A and B are shown apart, each in its own frame.
Chain A
Amino acid sequence: MNLVEFFAAPLRHAFFVRALLAAMSAAAACAAVGTFLVLRGMTFFGDALAHAVLPGVALGYLFHRGSRTAVFWWALGTAILASLGIGWVSRRGRLKEDTAIGIVFVGMFALGIGLISTVRGYAVDLVHFLFGNVLAVSPFDLGLVAGLSLGVILVILALYKELALATFDPLFARTLRLPTEFMRYLLLVLAAVTVVTALRVVGVALALAMLVVPPATGLLWGRRLPAVLALAVGFAVLSGFLGLFLSYYAGMAPGAAVVLVATGFFLLALLRIIGRG
């Protein structure tokens, strides 16, 4: 089998093309938002968010049996609620942000597990949400994932210089009268949206990887923020692309394959740094 055939064969399946596009667009959005989360030291937040979505998934499943799109909206609503909740708890209470995140995270996750455990015969479908089911993305779902991803990236491009400034030096941003609180919440909401798109591709268990691994690779490779962002998004898209082919030929779960390829790029960047001393 030659190289052209290697890439062309799976592309004859419409489901594979949809999966490819969904994986690549979700990966791009995750990397763009993730870069800012990583720079702000908020990666734990991404993990918490992915787990906090579980009660939404469970409720959506309970109320609309079988409709994955409905579950998607429930997950999105829950993620936004959880991210605002974390932002609010850490602002109001005298708690540090990581503590606030921990509390919201375990509370929501426990609620999700509790809800799920009341249902019989849930196991198979919910496994999709834990590990993703990108190969089953419908045309409508693909539109949703791609549209949300595009929206996230456009918001980041539009507010790029303000986000960069507020991330690098929040106090200076405040003296310039930038709405730093608004931008913090905006970033939390963007993270919520991307986590939910990532759920379709890699599932709850691996969503964090999409937010953290490509940005970390970009940070190892690039010297300036625009380059870091471009590299992070580039590696993420490439991981989505190659990961799905790996999944196709190795019979591997697509989410795991995408994350493995992304981790491979990260190790490459790490070796490059070590090699240069």
Chain B
Amino acid sequence: MSARCPGAIHSAEAPALEVQDLAVVRNGRPALEGVSFVLEKGGNLAVVGPNGAGKTTLLSALAGLIRPSAGTIRVFGQPPGRHLCLAYLPQRPAVEWNFPATVLDVVLMGRVGQVGLLRRLGPADRAKAQEALERVGLASLARRPIRELSGGEQQRMFLARALAQEASVLLLDEPLTGLDAPAQEGILVLLGELTGEGLTVVVALHELDLVARHFSQALLLRTRPVALGAPPEVFTPAALRAAYGTALHLLAAPEGTLALGEACCPKEPR
């Protein structure tokens, strides 16, 4: 997928994402401190933590939308600002759902960066968009107005747009919020398939159980990294208490420890 990535040359031997001592200051306060991790091509990482822990800040910094106050980010060995092959899906994208567009129109917008100024989208772009829609299972809805989509279909449409963009790194901020269980499962299975095809995926999530089932790496965050590693190693009672504090209630149940949190999500500072 990363064969052609306008705006940046990939170093073949560099990892997909390499973050070192990343710190971000927002409104005079540290929003993120001392975050380091390496994610190889085809890797997946779930970023978890309480509201305000810096999950959105981390993803925005990776997307090159906000400038780190310290530390470095490398995407295939390059700074993030120049990468068209980085796709970022914000939490509840601030799009106008009454916009007169079909699903295919929105997916085609993924091609705008590749096509460049003063050129029109052509048949090749249409084919790419159609292919992306098929990949996420939305081909039958291509001509549907976007206002008629369900929450799960909306997320799939944005994933298709990222694929049409030929992104090799996907950054998703709480893509499961507001979806029912089957739709959540569907998105996670799709993400699993995409990483299998070589895409690198970073997802901010609240659902710890889903992280444990679907992700090979988790980063537990509370402004500073609390724990990083495979989910079973990360989700220890001590680490969860350190991250969530009093917002978390741990319960010893027959099947193991149950973590009950104020997981979701009235006011995440952006």
Q: Which residues of B contact A219 (CB under 8 A)?
A: 100
Q: Pull 26 A–B residue pairs with CB atoms less than 8 Å apart, ordered by A.
A: A161-B115, A161-B121, A162-B117, A164-B109, A167-B99, A168-B95, A168-B101, A168-B106, A168-B109, A169-B93, A169-B94, A169-B95, A169-B109, A171-B94, A175-B65, A175-B86, A175-B87, A176-B113, A177-B81, A177-B84, A219-B100, A223-B100, A223-B145, A224-B105, A225-B100, A227-B100
Q: Which residues of B contact A174 (CB under 8 A)?
A: 65
With A and B bound together, what is the CA distance between A26 and B120 in angstroms? 26
Q: Is B102 an interface residue (CB 8 A)?
A: yes
Pick from B95, B100, B161: contact of A224, CB below 8 A. Answer: B100
If A167-B96, A168-B106 are given as contacts, then 6 extra A-B residue pairs at C-beta distance below 8 Å, sorted by A number, are A162-B117, A172-B93, A176-B84, A177-B7, A177-B84, A224-B100
Q: Is A178 an interface residue (CB 8 A)?
A: yes
Q: Is A81 an interface residue (CB 8 A)?
A: no
- C-beta contact mask, B152-177 vs A, less than 8 Å → 1, else 0? 00000000010001000000000000
Q: Is A170 an interface residue (CB 8 A)?
A: yes
The A164-197 residues at the B interface (CB cut-off 8 A) are 164-165, 167-172, 174-178
With A and B bound together, what is the CA distance between A174 and B109 in angstroms? 13
Contact B99 A39 (CB under 8 A): yes
Residue of B nearest to A35 (CB): B100
Q: Is B63 an interface residue (CB 8 A)?
A: yes
Distance of B244 from chain A, by nearest CB (Å): 28
Residue of A nearest to B171 (CB): A175
* Interface residues in B, total, Cβ within 8 A: 32
With A and B bound together, what is the CA distance between A230 and B105 in angstroms? 17
- C-beta contact mask, A30-51 vs B, less than 8 Å → 1, else 0? 0000000001010000000000
Pick from B65, B82, B88, B96: contact of A168, CB below 8 A. Answer: B96
Q: Is B181 an interface residue (CB 8 A)?
A: no
9 closest Cβ contacts across the A-B interface? Answer: A176-B113, A169-B95, A228-B100, A165-B109, A175-B88, A168-B99, A225-B100, A165-B112, A161-B112
* Interface residues in A, total, Cβ within 8 A: 26
With A and B bound together, what is the CA distance between A162 and B115 in angstroms? 11
The B105-140 residues at the A interface (CB cut-off 8 A) are 105-106, 109, 112-113, 115, 117-118, 120-121
**Residue from A41, A177, A228 whose CB has the most chain B CB atoms within 10 Å:** A177
Pick from A39, A159, A224: contact of B102, CB below 8 A. Answer: A224
**Residue from B65, B84, B100, B121 whose CB has the most chain A CB atoms within 10 Å:** B100
Contact A224 B109 (CB under 8 A): no
Q: Is A102 an interface residue (CB 8 A)?
A: no
- C-beta contact mask, B69-100 vs A, less than 8 Å → 1, else 0? 00000000000011010111010011110011
With A and B bound together, what is the CA distance between A171 and B86 in angstroms? 13
Q: Is B52 an interface residue (CB 8 A)?
A: no
Contact A171 B100 (CB under 8 A): no
A225 in contact with B101 given A171-B65, A176-B112 (CB within 8 Å): yes
Pick from B88, B109, B113: contact of A177, CB below 8 A. Answer: B113
Contact A171 B101 (CB under 8 A): no
Q: Is A222 an interface residue (CB 8 A)?
A: yes
Q: Is B186 an interface residue (CB 8 A)?
A: no
Q: Is B64 an interface residue (CB 8 A)?
A: yes
- C-beta contact mask, B4-18 vs A, less than 8 Å → 1, else 0? 000100000000000
Q: Which residues of A contact B64 (CB under 8 A)?
A: 175
Distance of A229 from chain B, by nearest CB (Å): 9
Q: Is A158 an interface residue (CB 8 A)?
A: yes
Distance of B112 from chain A, by nearest CB (Å): 5
